[in-house]
Amino acid sequence: MAKQKKMVEDITSMEVDFAKWYTDICKKAELVSYTSVKGCMVIRPYGYAIWENIQSILDGHFKETGHENVNMPMFIPESLLNKEKDHVEGFAPEVAWVTMGGSEPLEERLCVRPTSETLFCDHWKDIVQSYRDLPKLYNQWVSVVRWEKTTRPFLRSREFLWQEGHTLHATAEEAIAETEQMLNIYADFCEQDLAMPVVRGKKTESDKFAGAEATYAIEALMHDGKALQAGTSHYFGDGFAKAFEIQFQNKENKLQAPFETSWGVTTRLIGAIIMTHGDDNGLCLPPAVAPIQAVIIPVAMHKEGVLEKAAELRDRLKAAGVRVKLDDSDQSPGWKFSEYEMKGVPVRIEVGPRDIEQNQCVLVTRHNREKTFVSLDDLETAVPEKLQEVRDGMYRNALENRENKTYRCKTIDEIKTALEEKGDGFVHAMWCESEECEEKVKEETGAGSRCIPFAQETVSDVCVCCGKPARTMVLWGKAY
């Protein structure tokens, strides 16, 4: 019990210092490790296994919807980055430049890709000629680099892992439908598999991706009331295609520029999982992406038959498709309880001599610490059912947290008061669509526009800032 306490004491409480609580979990749950390279991190096996599960589920959805994976170079020549004006203005200030190859200076410097629109366009220019070549539905799983000043594990690092989908279409309608489809795939994934409710919406003009005509995003609310952008999907119109001189012969035999989209999610999702579900005992992982879904902890392991039974249960659960681990190391059960709570394993299975006598075991769910006794005969159905219960419970908790922290405000003063009295959260407030008011709300309240939700509601008739007639409801919040 001493050891158990010790471990828990090691994490800063989230009430005391949320930022420190976050980095404590990243380190103690062995998700990441800092490196000699400032702003870059090692994603350790336990953290990377979460990413592998995210990849596997999303990659399946991408392929079901007709997308193919490719691999583009990691370097972009400066002249290529410069081809689309808005895009280069957005990214040039934060890229890493390669200037030497071996001991020789390069003729043209190369940036390490911060995103790959320019590379995809440069490739499509060569391979797209006819409407028969469209659509191109491509994706790649790679890392990108953005030279950030301040960095935090998963949330903001100079190099991060992501997938970037890039597609090219014969019509604007088709491209817009793709942009929406991919946003919905992200949103459904976050809600179903990460048990994290999200708001789907459109970014305001000032907050669009560099070079995009429209940016859609999903926004999630973290435990501390701050907003986190969990995924984006961009519609480019034909701007990039024109800049890169991509043309195809349409069905009417005329040359025209095609329409483009791109969409991405990153290892940031792991940060979102931590801050949506974690607590003072550590990480709390959604079953769909947990590297270990159930851990078996034998009690009174030295007693005859306990380890054998535990191993039998492990094999049965493995055969039933559960990602299961048996911890038969010589640490105490108490130490193990804390350890796997810290690591956020959704279900703990305790089995000791008395349980075995009664042909049962104990299931403890991480997110609420509830205990259930289950007949060993029913294990293969009981554990998957429990995992579903865990996902549903985690989703309900996150949704409740979000609803408790969503404020409807009619004036800037109401926003200030709500955020001060109830703490950070989402604000629903009306907007006249002027950039000036958007800026002013952010300046005065600290809450910027997160998105214009697809699901609109009428909080009042006038802009929260200027009092002129309102055009849309905006979701406001302080952002990660």
Residues that bind its own copies (CB under 8 A): 33, 35-37, 40-45, 48-49, 51-52, 68-77, 79-80, 92-103, 109-110, 112, 119, 122-123, 126-127, 138, 142-143, 145, 147, 158-159, 161
Beta strand 324-326 with 294-298: parallel, antiparallel or unpaired?
Answer: parallel
CA dist 22 and 191 (Å) reads: 22
Q: Which residue has the tokens 């049962």?
A: 360
CA dist 150 and 158 (Å) reads: 9
Q: Which is nearer to its own copies, 11 or 43 (CB)?
A: 43
- Give me the least distance between CB of 134 and its own copies, in Å please: 14
Q: Which is nearer to its own copies, 301 or 415 (CB)?
A: 301
Peptide bond into 135 cis (omega under 30): yes
Cβ burial of 270 (10 Å; 0-12, 13-18, 19+) is: buried
CA dist 411 and 422 (Å) reads: 16
Q: Tell me the C-alpha to C-alpha distance, in Å, between residue 478 and each of 442, 452, 466.
A: 9, 15, 21
Q: Which long-range contacts (CB under 8 A, 24 or more apart) does 309-316 make?
A: 309/351, 309/356, 310/351, 313/349, 313/351, 313/361, 313/376, 313/379, 316/379, 316/380
- Give me the least distance between CB of 162 and its own copies, in Å please: 12
Q: Tell me the C-alpha to C-alpha distance, in Å, between residue 427 and each of 24, 220, 448.
A: 29, 13, 10
Q: Which is nearer to its own copies, 91 or 216 (CB)?
A: 91
Could you tell me which residues come within 8 angstroms of residue 428 by beta carbon, excluding any fewer than 6 positions away? 406, 407, 408, 409, 457, 459, 473, 474, 475, 476
Q: Which residue has the tokens 């579903």?
A: 388
Q: What angle do CA 445, 450, 454 make, to 5 degrees?
A: 130
Q: Which is nearer to its own copies, 79 or 404 (CB)?
A: 79
Q: Which residue has the tokens 């079953």?
A: 287
- Give me the least distance between CB of 82 and its own copies, in Å please: 12
